[in-house]
Chain A
Amino acid sequence: MVNPEHTAQIWSILEQVPDPEIPIINLVELGVIREVEILNDQNDLKITITPTYTGCPAKKLFEDLILEKLHENGYPKVEIISKLNPAWTTEWLSEKTKEKLMKEGISPPTIGDRIVQCPLCKSENTKMVSAFGSTPCQSLYTCNECKEPFNYFKCH
Chain B
Amino acid sequence: MKISIEKSEARFLLRLADTSTILGQRLAEMCSRGPILEEDIALSNISLDLFGRAEELYKLICTIENASYSPDDLVFRRNEREYFNLKLVEQPNDDFAWVIARQFMHDIYAKAVFSQLVNSKNSELAGLAAKVLKEIKYSYIHSKDWMERLGLGTEESNTRLQRAVDHLMKYVEEIFMFDAVDQENLADCALIHTTWENDFNQTLAACNLVRKPVMPLTMRDYRDGFHSEHLGTMLSVMQYLPRAYPDAKW
Contact = CB atoms under 8 A, between A and B. Distances in A.
How many A residues are at the interface, by size bracket? Answer: 20 to 34
7 contacts: A51-B56, A53-B49, A86-B130, A87-B131, A131-B138, A132-B142, A133-B41
Interface string B108-135: 0000000000000001111110111011
B140 to A, nearest CB: 11
Contact of A84 (B41, B44, B51, B124): B124
Contacts of B142: 131-132
B110 to A, nearest CB: 13
A56 B135 CA distance: 11
A57 interface: yes
A87 B135 CA distance: 12
Interface in B45-81: 45-46, 48-53, 55-56, 59
Nearest to A90: B134
A52 B123 CA distance: 17
Interface of B: 38-39, 41-42, 44-46, 48-53, 55-56, 59, 123-128, 130-132, 134-135, 138, 141-142
A156 interface: yes
Contact of A130 (B42, B51, B124, B127): B42
Contacts of A83: 124, 127
Nearest to B52: A55
A56 B52 contact: yes
B40 to A, nearest CB: 9
Nearest to A56: B52
Interface string A43-54: 000000001011
A85 B4 CA distance: 28
Contacts of B56: 51, 54, 84
Interface of A: 51, 53-57, 59, 82-88, 129-134, 136, 140, 154, 156
A150 to B, nearest CB: 15
A85 B141 contact: no
Closest 6 pairs between A and B when the two form their complex, measured CB to CB:
A85-B127, A55-B52, A54-B52, A84-B127, A55-B48, A130-B38
Contacts of A88: 131
A69 to B, nearest CB: 23
Contact of A57 (B48, B50, B126, B132): B48
A55 B51 contact: yes
Contacts of A156: 131, 134-135
A72 B90 CA distance: 46
A136 B49 contact: yes
Contact of A136 (B38, B45, B125, B141): B45
A132 B52 contact: no
Contacts of B132: 54
Contacts of A154: 138
Contact of A85 (B38, B51, B123): B123
